[in-house]
Amino acid sequence: MGIIISQHALEQAASRGATKKEIIEVLRSGSPIPAKYKRKGKAKIFHFGGERLGRYYDQKRVEVFYAEEGSDIIVITVYVFYGEWV
């Protein structure tokens, strides 16, 4: 199984506060979440303990949406939400 992350997806993820390592971790051990257009999604909560846009947040939730082509996973987009989850 290969994981393919386009340069555009990596740049968008970085601008939202996610790293390539976190994206791969979400794909390997994240919880499934609903997705549209025959895509799949997974999410995972990470400790953050820092500031984002002038506010402090304990955690961040990284959501990865992807498509499967053969044995490969193609990352479509990555969203990052900041806050606190149980």
| Per-residue pLDDT tens over the stretch 6-20 | 999 999 999 999 999
Which structural domains are found in the chain, ordered by start? 2-83 (3.30.2310)
| Per-residue pLDDT tens over the stretch 10-61 | 999 999 999 999 999 999 999 999 999 989 999 999 999 999 999 999 999 9
Confidence at residue 5, expressed as pLDDT on a 0 to 100 scale: 96
CA 20 to CA 45: how far, in whole Å? 15
* Closest among 69, 25, 62, 60 to 43, alpha carbons compared: 62
Confidence at residue 20, expressed as pLDDT on a 0 to 100 scale: 97
Amino acid, single-letter form, for residue 47: H
